[in-house]
Amino acid sequence: MFEFSQSKNQIIIKRDTIFLGIGVVVIIMAIAGVRLLFGLLPFEENYTLADVFGLVYICGWLTVVLSLGIFSFVTNSKQITINDEGVLCKSLFSKTFIRWADIKDWGLSYCGQTRWEGNTYYLYFSKHECQIKNECKKKLKGKMIKTFIIGNDYFDAVNIIIPFCSEKTDKTPFVGKDKYHFWG
C-alpha cells in the first residue's frame, strides 16, 4: 500500500505507515532479545550444551529480528519522486536519480501475491532493457528504481502514474496483466 500526492509537475509515492509500525514492534522484540542474551551471559563455570545452544539461538533470532527492523525502516523511508527531469528515489541510506533520457524500460511487473491484498507488482524504472518472462512479468535484474504496488493500488498506478510518466518519455511502458495468479 502506498500514498501518493500529485501536482501538475510531479508525483510523490511513499509507503504508508504500516512499515513504521512493524519497525517499532521489531525494535521492542530486539530489546527483549538483548535482555535474554545478557541474562545468559556470562556463563557459569559449568555451562552445558543447552546453554551454548540457547546463546546461538538467541544470536540468530536477534540477527533475523534486527534485519527485519532495518528492512522495515528503510522501506518506510523510501520515497519516489517522478517529475519532468526524471525519477528520484530517496531512502535512509541511499539516493538514486534516473533521467528520463536514461530510462530504457519502465512499467508494472507482477512479482507475487499477498494473502489478503491480492496481486503484488513492482513499479520500476530501469536504465537497461529487462527481459519479458510472460504477459504479466519481466525479469527485473540489476540496479533500478522500484517499489511495491499491492492489491487495489494497481488501478491507481495504471490510471494515474502510468499516464503521467508516459507524458515524460517516449518509451512504451510494460504493464503486466492483472489476473489471478495461483503460482508466481
Nearest CA to 108 out of 168, 153, 169 is that of 153
As a whole number, mean pLDDT of residues 51-65 equals: 86
Q: What is the pTM of this model?
A: 0.75
Q: Are 118 and 153 in contact (CB under 8 A)?
A: no
Residues 142-174: tens digit of each pLDDT = 889 998 888 778 888 889 999 999 999 999 999
pLDDT the model gives residue 144: 93
Which range is least confidently modeled, 47-61, 79-93, 115-129? 47-61
pLDDT the model gives residue 184: 43
Buried b (16+ CB within 10 A) or exposed e, 118-130: ebbbbbbbbeeeb
Q: Is the pLDDT of residue 178 over 60?
A: yes
Q: How many CB atoms lie within 10 A of CB 37?
A: 15
Q: Is the pLDDT of residue 94 over 50?
A: yes
The answer to whether the Cα torsion of 107, 139, 86, 76 is positive or negative is positive
DSSP state of 157: I
